[in-house]
Chain A
Amino acid sequence: KQEVTQIPAALSVPEGENLVLNCSFTDSAIYNLQWFRQDPGKGLTSLLLIQSSQREQTSGRLNASLDKSSGRSTLYIAASQPGDSATYLCAVRPNTGFQKLVFGTGTRLLVSP
């Protein structure tokens, strides 16, 4: 059974810092991996999707990497801003029965001005 773990569970940083969020998964047989952000009381916003054949994806100040063989992904946020404060979730889509996403428990990020 695929299990997804995110470390740290919570992170508090001052504005301007670069930071890394970690995601690990137990089964490397994945189709893709997706990073989301969730604001309090809101749904999920997709940030980046990395196909299993890719090593990284970039969007603005965000960069996500994928090392499928070791079961790891990182989300790098450059020059953090208070507006980045949210919960960040990673999710993998397994190769088998590959319709559903398996989610990690999230990292709650607070960026202070």
Chain B
Amino acid sequence: GAGVSQSPSNKVTEKGKDVELRCDPISGHTALYWYRQSLGQGLEFLIYFQGNSAPDKSGLPSDRFSAERTGGSVSTLTIQRTQQEDSAVYLCASSLSSPYEQYFGPGTRLTVT
């Protein structure tokens, strides 16, 4: 069966531009998570969705970061006015529900120049 997919796999953008990262979870998984992996910070939690609502947004680093999920499926992470410190790999994971095992996608490598 299909796993978690993310697009694009790589994104290079100029400082100040907006970017959208997409995550397609495993079919039937109601919980969806975004994490960020950067050299200096390791792997950090960003936001958690249960269905279309986000009960935990505590990891979003600033108000330039937002995310939504529609139809209980696809999620989009948007970063506005990108900064160089936003450069990282953004990983998405899904699970049947919380707190079941999370399955990760391949990630999107974001480079802000």
Contact = CB atoms under 8 A, between A and B. Distances in A.
Interface of A: 31-32, 34, 36, 41-46, 49, 89, 91, 93, 97-106
Contact of B101 (A34, A42, A43): A34
B99 A98 contact: yes
Interface of B: 4, 31, 33, 35, 42-45, 48, 50, 55-56, 58-59, 91, 93, 98-99, 101-107, 109
Contacts of A42: 106-107
24 contacts: A34-B101, A34-B102, A36-B104, A43-B4, A43-B104, A43-B105, A44-B91, A44-B93, A45-B104, A46-B102, A46-B104, A97-B56, A97-B58, A98-B98, A98-B99, A99-B31, A99-B33, A100-B45, A101-B33, A101-B35, A101-B45, A101-B102, A103-B43, A104-B42
B88 to A, nearest CB: 14
Contacts, number: 55
Given A31-B99, A43-B106, A93-B99, A100 B33 contact: yes
A101 B102 CA distance: 9
Given A105-B42, A106-B42, A46 B33 contact: no
Contacts of B56: 97, 99-100
Given A105-B42, A106-B42, A99 B106 contact: no
A97 B56 CA distance: 8
A46 B103 contact: yes
A41 to B, nearest CB: 8
A98 B35 CA distance: 15
Q: Which 6 A-B pairs have the closest CB atoms?
A: A100-B45, A103-B43, A44-B104, A43-B106, A99-B48, A43-B104
